[in-house]
Amino acid sequence: MQIVWTSTLHSYMPIFVSFLHPLQQSQFLFYCCLISLSSLHAGKALNRPILRFQSSSWVRTVSRTGKSRGPEEPRIGVFICHCGSNIADIVDVKEVVDFASKFPNVVFAVDERYVCSEPGQALIRENIRKHKLNRVIVASCSPRMHETTFRKALEAEGLNPFLLEITNLREQCSWVHMHEPRKATQKAKVLVASAIAKATLLEPLTPMKFSVTPAALVIGGGIAGIQASLDLANIGFKVHLVEKTPSIGGHMAQLDKTFPTLDCSACILTPKMVDVSRHPNITLWSYSEVESISGFIGNFKATIVEKARYINKSLCTGCGTCASKCPVKTIPNEFDLGLGTRSVAYIPFPQAVPLIYTIDKENCLYFTKGVCRVCEKTCPFKAVDFNQQDKKVEIEVGTIVIATGYDLFDANRKPEYGYKQYKNVLTNLEFERLISAAGPTGGQLVRPSDGRAPKKIAFVQCIGSRDILTNPYCSRVCCMASVKQAHQAKEKYPDAKVFVFYIDLRTFGKGYEEFLWRVQEEGVNLVRGKVAEIYRKPKDENLTVLFEDTLLGQTREMDFDMVILAAGLEPRVDAQQIQKALKLSMSPDSFFLEAHPKLRPVETHIAGVYLCGCAQGPKDIPDVVAQASAAASQASIPLIQGEVVSEPTIAYVDKELCCSCKICESVCVYDAIEADETDEEKRAKVNEALCVGCGSCAAACPARAITMYGFTKEQISKQLAALLTEPT
Amino acid sequence: MNKLKFAFYWGASCGGCEIAVLDINEKILEVITLADIVFWPVAMDVKYKEVEAMADNSIDVCFFNGAVRTDEQEHMAKLLRKKAKTLVAFGSCACDGCVIGLGNLWDKETIFERAYIETPSTKNPNAVYPKTSITTKEGKLTLPRFYDTVKTLGQTVDVDYFLSGCPPPVPLILQAVEAISKNELPPKGSILMPSKSVCDECPREKKDKKLDKLKRIYELQDDQESCFWDQGVICMGPATRAGCEAQCPKVNMPCTGCDGPSPGVVDQGAAIISALASIATNDEVINQAVDPIGTFYKYSLANSILRRRVIKK
């Protein structure tokens, strides 16, 4: 005798599903779990009434849905789409139409070549009128494609758009059963039967509207944040731009020249920085961080911490007296990546915006030893204020743009290249500071070890990128950065020998390949092969590069005066704070994840939050600027509309059934459901604006007090019953 | 005033429900003034044939405890349904199958094998199993037929009211009797219990729940104040109907679910399983749930969506 479980799967499914991230759970799969609570089996089959209720003399009466079902008898129209040949070549659509027409509430069923086309939509509208349809089923492609299209057709005929049910005969039927037309047809019938079952229970739903605060928050003051802020401000909205460091400008401000046009980076960036500081619509929060964000699209609240500079920003004129008088001038300058030094009172670079000095508390003699105060005494404007405290400011915004940028890959994680061990091994970004006229050497390209001009320079590509041990992705900018720097080296020292060691040279942008040709003609040597290791010669700090020349098929060694590592781009270490605060998703590489890689590249899964720049993934300046403008444009849409409409397919708590166990609160990643503090019994309450309708709470609720509008237990039970019934 | 006629019967049960009736103590006297007990096998010698002889609908209320596992119980369930105007499924076995219903994890063959051969205390070298009839020199002796599947009373006959619990709480029994006496019974099909969860009656404080490790009750240093879930112990409270006044949690034992599914719940086990899975922070937590059926379906297996293990012969 063999004993097996049959229905176990259904009941245990929630376990497996619940371990997935809500965003990974398709709504339907999730609600399949709710079969466990279907009234179906326990009702008729077990000869026991499901709606077991009490008269008022016993206890309070249970109200199950909180809504009336509407008096009308369902009149269902079924529209079966051929999708050209996509469905009709596999599924016998005529047979499905015949099958559908036999259901009691189906008053009309028809097939159509493309239901999504204009004539197809007209067909729906015409038959809604003709047959007085009050429920519409479209059996076509995924609802992700045309749900909105068909909802609008219903709306145009005065029907509530949520009286539409889509069943997917393409992705979930014809495409996956391409070689089994008979079975596909049978499955199509089952799918249509299940849609009919659900449609009989569909109820009209009303979307909710929320007003929008006409302001935006831009996090990050690099070129992405600058561009997004300027665009939003120019459209006419108030912008709060928050930058962590004392000045905006980001990585772009550190670059000497940009590829392939060789524009001076500062020359093209600083006018934009000045525009930001002067724009009447932009409030610049420099040396500030976003501490927390709450709320939802249209109504975000953010707490910004403005760190103490110990210099009064309204009094400081940027004259620099404090810096010049400051006795401690040997602090490694972060902006120059430690290649140069600065005073304790400093601005990161001469064109800093805002032009306000900052006192570095950690290195200040007054803060560490209680002496000095020279800056305080010498400041002509009495702007120094050692008693300044961090200031918290709460702002309200309608939308948020994330432009937090990137961190440079720490080349120490590849110790074989000797970064920080050998003085003459530098990164691309350090090279930028060396060759910049505003840099620590005044633009002299010299070896850090002895200040001599290098005669032989190597550029080593893909440090930390395209490497399974560190980051598998391509950082996209390093090939062009090295090629451009090779050109700059040749420009400074035409006799120098310059080598670029690469795996593949990716010069994909406009004018990039042409630039590469030019650089090759200038005599830069390109060697295809990954560098294995770099050794130092102790006597002269020269470097030996061990590499495989894959075109020659040889392992070779070559000596250089200087080696430049093309360190890749990585997500910001502190990006997770923002990710947690806003419940954003990250892609596997830990950059922020866009809502759709092709069609929604600057939106996130959280309504009202947009991405641009390297926070979303490595990219070069033209791409960053284009994406920043796109994000600004997207972020302005709700602000211009003035109100946002939210999907009504969200969770609803039956207070009579809720037992205040707080399990729903624990599972909601959107903080959209929590104990109602105004309720004496602390029963759960849904924040309708935050709820995205993922269904986690409904599946988790042990008292089954939570209903998902559009996916009620009754609807899903009926649907499942139909799915489990053999079609005739 | 015409006295009412009450009947009590026990199907597959432990006898605890009978004790619960007696637990109403001196109130039993009021019951007796209110009604004549015409049939009560545990206390009175009334033969089945005498019940058969009664007129249909002559019994006002029959309280039926125990599940239906033999043909005798099925016969009596059907007989009492016919004879009684109002049939009350009394106790967890009659309502949901209770522990008796866990027999649905096996079938008659495996149960007999276990009970009459395998158990260490059994000596049965000739492998003798109970038979439904045997002829002796005194005549033919019969035993009821033992079914593969335990059914609830509701799965066997039409039931008017349900009063669950293992056993039903005394105040609810009194409330039911009072309602009967005043003719104030709710609509047919009602459960004569509060429309709430055990949590609604439980004084323990509930907080945000994230489970990274499950504890069994012997591993717990109970703080006696916070929700068992918050202390890493499975408690059936949220999916279990109230009425017991959270007796167990009040004396530091988690609810095991004897009052049956709470008002919104159909499958008590599934409700708790999906809750547990939702708040578990890792897969291990699920594996730590020892004896899932015995934990989640202790009282409700026979009346759940699962109902029983499928027998394939």
CB A667 within 8 A of CB B278: yes
Final residue belonging to a domain, choices A207, A234, A267: A207
A54 domain residue, yes or no: no
Cα-only R_g, chain A: 32
Would you state the pLDDT for residue B1? 56
Would you state the pLDDT for residue B110? 94
For residue A348, give Cα distances in angstroms to A344, A386, A428.
11, 20, 19
User: Given an 8 Å threshold on Cβ–Cβ distance, is B239 in contact with A703?
Assistant: yes
Spatial neighbors of A159 by CB under 8 A, at least 6 apart, are A128, A133, A134, A136
Question: In terms of domains, do A454 and A529 share one?
Answer: yes
Would you state the pLDDT for residue A268? 96
How many residues appear in chain A? 728
Cα-only R_g, chain B: 21
> Is residue A720's pLDDT more than 70?
yes
Cα–Cα distance for residue pair A683/A655, rounded to 1 Å: 7
> Is residue A330's pLDDT more than 70?
yes
- How confident is the model over A87-96, as pLDDT tens digits? 999 999 999 9
User: One-letter amino acid identity for A139?
Assistant: A
User: Given an 8 Å threshold on Cβ–Cβ distance, is B262 in contact with A55?
Assistant: no
- Residue A401 — very low, low, confident or very high, per pLDDT cuts 50/70/90? very high
Spatial neighbors of A286 by CB under 8 A, at least 6 apart, are A221, A243, A245, A246, A247, A248, A353, A354, A356
Handedness of CA B34, B35, B40, B46 (dihedral sign): positive
Which 8-state DSSP code applies to residue A207? -
Cα–Cα distance for residue pair B262/A659, rounded to 1 Å: 10
Spatial neighbors of A375 by CB under 8 A, at least 6 apart, are A321, A322, A325, A326, A345, A359, A384
Which 8-state DSSP code applies to residue B205? B
- Residue A728 — very low, low, confident or very high, per pLDDT cuts 50/70/90? confident
Distance from the A26 Cα atom to the nearest Cα atom in chain B, whole angstroms: 16
Among B179, B192, B238, the residue with its CB nearest the CB of A659 is B238
Cα–Cα distance for residue pair A519/B34, rounded to 1 Å: 108
CB A492 within 8 A of CB A435: yes
A255 domain residue, yes or no: yes
Question: In terms of domains, do A111 and A221 share one?
Answer: no
Question: In terms of domains, do A186 and A200 share one?
Answer: yes
User: Given an 8 Å threshold on Cβ–Cβ distance, is B208 in contact with A662?
Assistant: yes
> Is residue B203's pLDDT more than 70?
yes
Cα–Cα distance for residue pair A428/A258, rounded to 1 Å: 13
Q: How much is the mean pLDDT over chain A?
A: 89
User: Given an 8 Å threshold on Cβ–Cβ distance, is B303 in contact with A46?
Assistant: yes
Structure-derived torsion over alpha carbons of residues B94, B100, B105, B109, reported in degrees to the nearest 10: -110
State the average pLDDT over residues A353-364: 96
Question: In terms of domains, do A267 and A229 share one?
Answer: yes
User: Given an 8 Å threshold on Cβ–Cβ distance, is A702 in contact with B238?
Assistant: yes
- Residue A45 — very low, low, confident or very high, per pLDDT cuts 50/70/90? very low
To test the contact with chain B by mutation, choose from A666, A714, A716 the residue with the greatest count of B C-beta atoms within 10 A, namely: A666
Distance from the A187 Cα atom to the nearest Cα atom in chain B, whole angstroms: 25
- How confident is the model over A106-139, as pLDDT tens digits? 999 999 999 999 999 999 999 999 999 999 999 9
Spatial neighbors of A117 by CB under 8 A, at least 6 apart, are none
A396 domain residue, yes or no: yes
To test the contact with chain B by mutation, choose from A38, A662, A682 the residue with the greatest count of B C-beta atoms within 10 A, namely: A662
Distance from the B311 Cα atom to the nearest Cα atom in chain A, whole angstroms: 5
Structure-derived torsion over alpha carbons of residues A230, A233, A235, A236, reported in degrees to the nearest 10: -170
Final residue belonging to a domain, choices A517, A538, A570: A570
Q: Which residues of B touch A35 (CB under 8 A)?
A: 305
Among B179, B184, B305, the residue with its CB nearest the CB of A41 is B305
3-state secondary structure of A45: helix
Question: In terms of domains, do A520 and A596 share one?
Answer: no
CB B6 within 8 A of CB B62: yes
Q: Which residues of A touch B274 (CB under 8 A)?
A: 14-15, 18, 33, 36, 699-700, 702
Distance from the A726 Cα atom to the nearest Cα atom in chain B, whole angstroms: 20
- How confident is the model over A505-515, as pLDDT tens digits? 999 999 999 99
- Residue A41 — very low, low, confident or very high, per pLDDT cuts 50/70/90? very low
To test the contact with chain B by mutation, choose from A48, A677, A708 the residue with the greatest count of B C-beta atoms within 10 A, namely: A48
> What is the CA A400 to chain-centroid distance, rounded?
12
Would you state the pLDDT for residue A71? 52
Cα–Cα distance for residue pair B12/B18, rounded to 1 Å: 12
User: Given an 8 Å threshold on Cβ–Cβ distance, is A38 in contact with B175?
Assistant: no
A478 domain residue, yes or no: yes
The 3-state secondary structure of A639-682, one letter per residue: HHHCEEEECCCCEEECCCCCCCCCHHHHHCCCCCEEECCCCCCC
Give start and end residues of each alpha helix (H) in chain B. Answer: 16-22, 27-34, 48-53, 71-83, 92-96, 98-101, 108-113, 153-156, 170-181, 198-201, 247-250, 268-279, 283-287, 292-296
Spatial neighbors of B152 by CB under 8 A, at least 6 apart, are A46, A48, B67, B68, B89, B93, B94, B95, B96, B97, B101, B302, B303
Question: In terms of domains, do A560 and A437 share one?
Answer: yes
A52 domain residue, yes or no: no
User: Given an 8 Å threshold on Cβ–Cβ distance, is A702 in contact with B271?
Assistant: yes
- How confident is the model over A677-716, as pLDDT tens digits? 898 889 999 998 889 899 999 999 999 999 999 999 899 9
Residue A59 structure tokens: 């206890």
**A674, β-bridge pairs:** A685
Would you state the pLDDT for residue A670? 85
Q: Which residues of A touch B77 (CB under 8 A)?
A: none
When divided into structural domains, chain A yields a total of 5
- How confident is the model over A289-300, as pLDDT tens digits? 999 998 889 999
Distance from the A589 Cα atom to the nearest Cα atom in chain B, whole angstroms: 23
Counting one residue from A and one from B, how many pairs have CB atoms under 8 Å apart?
221
Domain ranges of chain B: 4-100+154-181, 106-146, 198-303
Q: What CATH number did the domain enclosing A416 receive?
A: 3.50.50.60
> Is residue B289's pLDDT more than 60?
yes
One DSSP character per residue, B39-75 reads: E-TTTS---HHHHHHSPTT-EEEEEEESBEEEHHHHH
Spatial neighbors of A321 by CB under 8 A, at least 6 apart, are A375, A378, A379, A380
Question: In terms of domains, do A271 and A330 share one?
Answer: no
Question: In terms of domains, do A538 and A434 share one?
Answer: yes
Residue B168 structure tokens: 């039903």
Q: A442 is in which domain, residue-wise?
A: 409-570
Give start and end residues of each alpha helix (H) in A337-412. Answer: 365-369, 374-378
Cα–Cα distance for residue pair A580/A670, rounded to 1 Å: 10
Q: What is the ipTM of this complex?
A: 0.89
Handedness of CA B178, B184, B188, B193 (dihedral sign): negative
CB B46 within 8 A of CB B9: no
| φ, ψ at A304 (rounded to 5°) | -110, 130
Which CATH fold topology does B4-100+154-181 show?
Rossmann fold (3.40.50)
A157 domain residue, yes or no: yes
Cα–Cα distance for residue pair A21/A40, rounded to 1 Å: 29
